Chains A and B, each alone.
Chain A
């Protein structure tokens, strides 16, 4: 373990750079700074990264229950759900916003839980796959995925299902998609290409796409 006291010792370099950074702030306050990035290194040295994790209290309603956590600011919502709250239904695929496996509903809208910090969700209402339904009381979308075999390995499935529920809501809001020929059109039918486009943020490595599409159409009451 590095000694925190030792790392707080200002070096000559830190002191010099801190001086530069103070000058930068003064110039900015006077409104005369004209460049966008002023001595980034100096600025970092002026106020170093905290030596220890910074903890943040956060309270969220998760699947209908109020949960309070004290959490490292670096914790993503995904890791908070899986590692701190034991809700391992939400899956970590790429952890960089490319696969959709970590999709959850926040205040009713689908988002990627890997690209948001848990501490930013104070007061939010979060629904994960566990909150949609569980064995014995499946959400219609979960039941439809089972009925239509909308998976093989199942790893992308919680994200697919949360995403599909969010997608249907977006369609209800009247939002168009990239597959919409005329975005000004008021009546938007959910054709197969529309559903495929709207679900394109959820990858399925087993390529169960035809059955996922069938499940969504079934649960969504789409002919």
Chain B
């Protein structure tokens, strides 16, 4: 790991000042992904601004039945929050399906959104990767690609976003609140926060330089049941091969794309009276496998159908 300087920000303005004068600096919160990447030499910031002590660690009820989750709320605390468990169980379930107790105690809401992909080739500095080294090529296209994308990929990158939490937030129609040094506050829908790879897979979100995630805002839960299902290589402590979050009639998929995937086509089909299986087919009409991940297409179809059935079972009222 290359040497870096470090400072602890105690107020938001201080954090912005620290970043503004050092465009190569990075904010660090839980650090569970960034430090791993720094050890591998994949991330190499010259300066870290520790934001753990900013006042962004509360979960607060907001007007209109909204819930405001501070960016520094730990994954474990969010999953254990009484309001989340009762009103947004799909979020609690998604968080608890991810990582381990130790990691959830450290990982933050904001940091979870900014996780980098777990693509083998992104992590292997000896192999070409357009995300790590733009223009070098995508090793996964012809390589080991059983964990890779079936929707929204590009010839430049077929990596997937690894978060479970973000899939639930996408199904719930959450907004990401950000703050810039200029004082500008943005509320970005989850569906627009992450980007598809296109020709710039190294650009993963719409965050601007120095922009800080301050909160995630949940609208009142949609009517109907909620459920999160995840298929992985072992029963616990593994990233999703496929996951499905359902909240009422809203569906999001994990492990299928470069971003948490809102299944708009399936939702539209359901609205026009299609069966869950037909709705899944509508979503997956554009799916494309790369050999190793071909299994994901029928698996996603079955997962959508099964999770929707489960939602009906758990629907309250």
CB-CB contacts below 8 Å: B71-90 with A: 76, 79-80, 85-86, 89
Chain B 73-112, CB within 8 Å of chain A: the 1/0 string?
Answer: 0001001100001100100110011011111011000000
Pair A54/B5 contact, Cβ less than 8 Å: yes
B182 at the interface (CB under 8 A from A): yes
A167 at the interface (CB under 8 A from B): yes
Question: Do A44 and B100 contact each other (CB < 8 Å), given the known contacts A28-B208, A36-B204?
Answer: no
Residues 24-57 of A, flagged 1 when their CB comes within 8 A of B and 0 if not, give: 1100110101111110100110111111111010
Q: Report A157-200 residues with CB < 8 Å from chain B CB.
A: 163, 166-167, 170, 173-178, 180, 182-184, 196-200
Q: Which of A43, A109, A120 counts the most B-chain CB atoms under 10 A from its CB?
A: A120
Q: Which of B4, B36, B80, B205 contacts A175 (CB 8 A)?
A: B80
Q: With A and B bound together, what is the CA distance between A29 and B180 in angstroms?
A: 9
Of B8, B85, B207, which one neighbours A184 at CB under 8 angstroms? B85
In the assembled complex, A68 has its CB within 8 A of some CB on chain B: no
Q: Indicate whether B35 reaches chain A with its CB closer than 8 angstroms.
A: yes
B31 touches A178 (CB 8 A): no
The docked-state distance in angstroms from the alpha carbon of A51 to that of B5 is 11
Question: Does A200 contact B236, Cβ atoms closer than 8 Å?
Answer: yes
Q: From DSSP, what is the main secondary structure of chain B's interface residues?
A: loop
| Closest Cβ neighbor of B84 among chain A residues | A183
Q: Is the CB of B46 within 8 A of A117?
A: no
Chain B residues packing against A (C-beta within 8 Å) = 1-6, 8, 20-24, 28, 31-32, 35-36, 39, 44, 46-48, 50, 52, 76, 79-80, 85-86, 89, 92-93, 96-97, 99-103, 105-106, 180-182, 184, 202-210, 235-237
Q: Which bracket fits the contact residues of A?
A: 35 or more
Question: Hey, which chain A residues are within 8 Å of B32, CB to CB?
Answer: 97, 112, 115-116
Enumerate the 4 nearest inter-chain pairs by beta-carbon distance, A residue then B residue, closest first. A201-B100, A200-B236, A175-B80, A43-B24
**Is there an interface contact between A44 and B24, defined as CB atoms closer than 8 Å?**
yes
Check if A142 is an interface residue, CB within 8 A of chain B.
no
Q: Can you give 16 A-B contacts (C-beta < 8 A)?
A: A24-B23, A28-B23, A28-B208, A28-B209, A34-B208, A44-B24, A50-B4, A73-B5, A95-B39, A112-B32, A112-B102, A117-B35, A117-B48, A175-B76, A176-B85, A201-B100
Say yes or no: is A150 at the interface (Cβ < 8 Å to chain B).
no
- CB-CB under 8 A for A96 and B102, given A31-B180, A44-B24, A184-B86: no
A170-B76, A175-B79, A176-B92 known; A198+B101 contact, CB < 8 A? yes
Pick from B3, B48, B102, B202: contact of A163, CB under 8 Å: B102
Tell me if A80 counts as interface (CB < 8 A to partner B). no
Let me know if B237 and A200 touch, CB within 8 A. yes
Closest Cβ of chain A to B104, distance in Å, is 9
A-B contact count (CB 8 A): 170
Q: Is the interface of A mostly helix, strand, loop or mixed?
A: loop
| Given A73-B48, A119-B6, A97 contacting B210 (CB threshold 8 A) | no
Identify B4's interface contact among A74, A112, A182, CB under 8 A: A74
Of the candidates B5, B39, B86, B205, which one forms a contact with A50 in the assembled complex, judged by CB atoms under 8 Å apart?
A: B5
Given contacts A31-B182, A47-B24, A184-B86, contact A110 B209 (CB under 8 A): no
Q: Bound complex: CA of A112 vs CA of B101, how far in Å?
A: 10
Binding site for B on A (CB under 8 A): 21, 24-25, 28-29, 31, 33-38, 40, 43-44, 46-54, 56, 72-74, 76, 95-97, 100, 103, 109-112, 115-117, 119-120, 122, 163, 166-167, 170, 173-178, 180, 182-184, 196-202
Partner among B20, B96, B99 whose Cβ is within 8 Å of the Cβ of A25: B20
Q: Is the CB of B36 within 8 A of A115?
A: yes
Question: Measured between C-beta atoms, what is the minimum distance from A153 to chain B in Å?
Answer: 21
A47/B202 contact (C-beta < 8 A), A73-B5, A183-B96 known? no
Contacts of B204 in A (CB 8 A): 36
Contact A115 B96 (CB under 8 A): no
Residue of B nearest to A53 (CB): B3
A73 contacts across to B, CB distance below 8 A = 3-6, 48
Q: Which residues of A contact B105 (CB under 8 A)?
A: 109-111, 166
In the assembled complex, the CB of B245 is this many whole angstroms from the nearest CB of chain A, namely 14
